[in-house]
Amino acid sequence: MRERGEILGLKRKDLLTLQELGAEEILHILDTAASFKEVVQRPIKKVPALRGKTVVNLFFEPSTRTRTSFELAAKRLSADVVNFTAGSSSLVKGESLLDTVRNIEAMNVHTIIMRHSCSGAVHLVARHCRVGVVNAGDGTHAHPTQGLLDLFTIREVKKSFAGLTVTLVGDITHSRVARSNIHGLLALGAKVRVVGPATLIPKSIAQLGVEIHYRLEEAIAGADVINILRIQLERQDGQYFPSAREYAHLYGVNARRLKLAKPDVLIMHPGPMNRGIEISPRVADGPNSVILNQVTNGVAVRMAVLYLLSGGESDENPD
Ligand code: CP
């Protein structure tokens, strides 16, 4: 049993997937994030938890939300932050990924936050590094901090996961967000439905314990949360649906379809949104939308992850 005010760190070097965490560790991260959310609402948003430590943002793929919020999170914990840009690094001269990371590690950094287009690249780096590595999205595999901030946003409104029905809509095949959400939601006791064109739903996903649907109306009927995934044209190596217009017609979440869900349904989207394709502007900006709350919560959740991976030790914790 933890004493009040005592925050124990995660007993792991890296955070690579939500699959590797149990419900207790996930809830511990969410509780710590709630304390940090209170900190970042103060006029002075900083705590000295990671003073003297250096965090490197190593992004090999574009990002707005994840990269910016990790930078803000690290700075609000008083860490120094270095943003590595692949396009202007020696990678373009042919240096390998592992040599690049080993050189960065040799500069005595404390944590590496990494995004890469290849599933598993972050795991490879974590295996060869002594410092902690946080997965900021690897290929189609996992995006654990997005999963955590989605869980945090749901819990903030719905209070608990037991009895909740969460529908994930769209491109399940290419979505690392879907996989992280599924592992986290099932661990915490929610029921998960996935829906999309058959070409974008791997049959094997049923083995995780989710319900598969192919009709949007059926999948969102009575839902408590609808998490709408981006159609990821950059990861699609073929034609998975006839056209964006056809996709919007069959799977676009619009105000008319929203009426099938519970009146207090939460509308979520990890961003960036394709407005008018997977989500209508009226739904994206409507009263059920918590899309910008997800972004706000991302900073507190990433503060919690960086803090807890560092051992959760400091002279001043967030309580
Ligand atoms: N949700 C998400 O990963 O957004 P970015 O690609 O902008 O980081």
- Probe target for ligand 1 pocket from 61, 63, 180, with the most ligand atoms within 8 Å of CB: 63
**Which helix (H) or strand (E) covers residue 295, if one does?**
helix 291-309
Region 280-304: mean pLDDT is 98
- Determine if ligand 1 sits within 6 Å of the CB of residue 146: yes
CATH superfamily assigned to domain 144-291: Aspartate/ornithine carbamoyltransferase (3.40.50.1370)
The pLDDT, as a whole number, for residue 237 is 63
**Percent of the chain, pLDDT > 70?**
94
pLDDT tens by residue, 148-204:
999 999 999 999 999 999 999 999 999 999 999 999 999 999 999 999 999 999 999
- Our answer to whether residue 115 is catalytic in this structure is yes
Domains 6-143+296-309 and 144-291 share a fold: yes
Nearest-CA residue for atom 6 of ligand 1:
63
Instruction: Say whether pLDDT at 315 is over 80.
Output: no
Chain centroid to CA 90: 29
User: Taking the domains of the chain in order of start, what are their residue ranges?
Assistant: 6-143+296-309, 144-291
SS3 255: helix
SS3 135: strand
The CA distance from 16 to 47, in Å, is 25
- Our answer to whether residue 93 is catalytic in this structure is yes
**pLDDT-based confidence at residue 8 (cuts at 50, 70, 90):** confident
In the sheet that holds 211-213, the strands lie side by side as 211-213, 191-195, 165-169, 225-228, 266-268
Instruction: Say whether pLDDT at 205 is over 90.
Output: yes
The highest-level CATH class for domain 6-143+296-309 is: alpha beta
Say how many Å lie between the CA of residue 116 and the centre of ligand 1: 12
- Our answer to whether residue 215 is catalytic in this structure is no
- Determine if ligand 1 sits within 6 Å of the CB of residue 271: yes
- Probe target for ligand 1 pocket from 57, 59, 64, with the most ligand atoms within 8 Å of CB: 64
Termini Cα distance of the chain: 17
Instruction: Say whether pLDDT at 2 is over 70.
Output: no
- pTM comes to 0.94
Say how many Å lie between the CA of residue 257 and the centre of ligand 1: 26
pLDDT tens by residue, 121-137:
999 999 999 999 999 99
The pLDDT, as a whole number, for residue 312 is 72
The pLDDT, as a whole number, for residue 6 is 53
The pLDDT, as a whole number, for residue 1 is 37
Pairing of strands 165-169, 132-138: unpaired
